[in-house]
Chains A and B, each alone.
Chain A
């Protein structure tokens, strides 16, 4: 186990705690940059999907994991971002410009949703965002002059100043750059006063208020930023899918995103990407497993949904901190090898607090 003695303030606010971390993240970056050279196109597409869902997950993680407001209509922001990107691309905007604009549009919608969120909490907020998600989905389906309705909308290829993103490798590069920049942005946000305010609001609204945090503006900002990153992910998603239809942004997609942050590990940036890997790899794994299962189980249409449900229940019951929490436990075990004892990182149970009194 490495013990870091902090001797300067710079060391305290450093993104990487020690040289080991620097080494492993550099290796990871190297692998990601080199991926197009040794991966075949299908695997590369899946990797792009992981990066896209990672960006979307970062957005929801900011809201659900760090601010403690959970949204059941997040697919709506994804949809707003995706449709904005598609329409702006059709109008001939370069993607360097249209992607931030798509994100900003989603953020504007996020502020709109944040407004009722100031008055309601907990389950009421979940239902408010759920309702909002339904309204946006229906709106996308009905505003046919703009979105093409249920007939769908073709997304043109991304281009910027003569450079057209016309191959999987180029698109992967775009995804990688966006994902890395978003991750850095979120990491830096989280160690800024704003990020600490988010966490304070999550842990206790009353204490946060006592410390001088303005609840209303913090929550609205959380919604806006979360929607921005989700919208950014949506813009990438539009190019990946190439064909948008309203039912891609419905309640099931929202629940998938919640599944992503829960399984990845609420309240960790790693969790967003781990959850994205899970969400993409799980259906593949099930598809591969199908051949080895008895046919009446393997060919059943509900297999994937049942496995997802089981995994979700298992994680909430046995590993509430998700995949990242599991990794932290394994790492601690390795570091402390002979001295690890069970329950070191166990969550402390608290008495149930009444939501009605909060």
Chain B
């Protein structure tokens, strides 16, 4: 019974990793760059929600879309200002750039007088934990996380399947040059992708806030989402969620069955194993190199 309980909370935690990993994968798939700032974007999103909810006292139904929109605008701006000038340069430049953005975001947030380095609590109206049949206990926030992940996956699926923007993004992600020649505005799409990824990060932040609280270093959880993205296959959206779930469950089980300390590294051990056995991840695409 305890094992089931561990499994369920692992799945809830895994949904969070999956949500953050979704951001990486969206950006990687469309622009072939990896944003190490994703976790820090999430942190900024958490603080935006904190400002709206706690300090301005807005209702939750307004806070959630507003913080997602605010972060989407930030993502759009970042892509235009910072990322676009280095397109075409080695991947290393972009990685360093996003690391720099992460530093900057962490520094600026702690410089705000009301924020500082303290840990904050988002006032979310969650009630008592639910008693599930079979004696399992599930916190409402975990349930909300799982539900929102499923919902978001559905929305993204619909976006990529049924809308012109989504189809254009898919085309651009397969071959940027060909997409450009077919009249798709690839650069503008890259901006939208960054906006989308930042919006997903804001959503993840609001969902995560009751579990880990809001603080300047909460973005470091993004480093756990990298293994999730790699295990699933870096270029695959369902892979990101699957990888997140696997990482969450493995971590929970390692914390339960193995001695202390294995919990924190289990995700990284798993990622090394996956990289050695299947370098493209579980659902990643395999492409043949042609000279």
Residue positions of A touching B, CB distance < 8 A: 64, 70, 116, 119-120, 122-124, 126-128, 130-132, 134-135, 138, 141-142, 206, 251, 255, 258-259, 262, 266, 296-297, 300-313, 316-317, 320, 347, 349-352, 354-358
Contact = CB atoms under 8 A, between A and B. Distances in A.
Interface string B255-277: 00000010011011101100110
Nearest to A121: B279
B129 interface: no
A179 B200 CA distance: 47
**A-B CB proximity, top 5 nearest:** A306-B107, A309-B104, A309-B103, A302-B110, A312-B100
A266 B95 CA distance: 14
Nearest to A263: B96
Nearest to A128: B275
Nearest to A206: B291
B152 interface: no
B191 to A, nearest CB: 16
Interface of B: 28, 32, 34, 82, 85-89, 91-93, 95-97, 99-111, 113, 116-117, 176-177, 216, 220, 223, 226-227, 230, 234-235, 261, 264-265, 267-269, 271-272, 275-276, 279, 285, 287, 289-291
A134 B87 CA distance: 30
B88 A351 contact: yes
Interface residues of chain B: helix, strand, loop or mixed (majority): helix
A305 B108 CA distance: 8
B96 A356 contact: no
Given A123-B34, A258-B96, A301-B117, A310 B104 contact: yes
24 contacts: A64-B92, A70-B95, A119-B279, A123-B34, A124-B234, A124-B279, A134-B223, A135-B269, A206-B291, A251-B223, A255-B99, A258-B96, A258-B99, A301-B111, A302-B107, A302-B216, A304-B107, A305-B110, A306-B108, A309-B100, A313-B104, A317-B82, A349-B89, A357-B289
A354 B269 CA distance: 28
A135 B254 CA distance: 14
Contacts of A64: 92
Interface residues of chain A: helix, strand, loop or mixed (majority): helix
Contacts of A309: 100-107
Nearest to B277: A119
Contacts of A123: 28, 34, 91, 95, 234
Contacts of B86: 316-317, 320
B96 A316 contact: yes
Question: Which of A70, A351, A356: most chain B CB closer than 10 A?
Answer: A356
Contacts of A313: 82, 97, 100-101, 104
Given A305-B107, A309-B105, A352-B32, A124 B82 contact: no
B261 A134 contact: no
Question: Which of B104, B110, B234: most chain A CB closer than 10 A?
Answer: B104
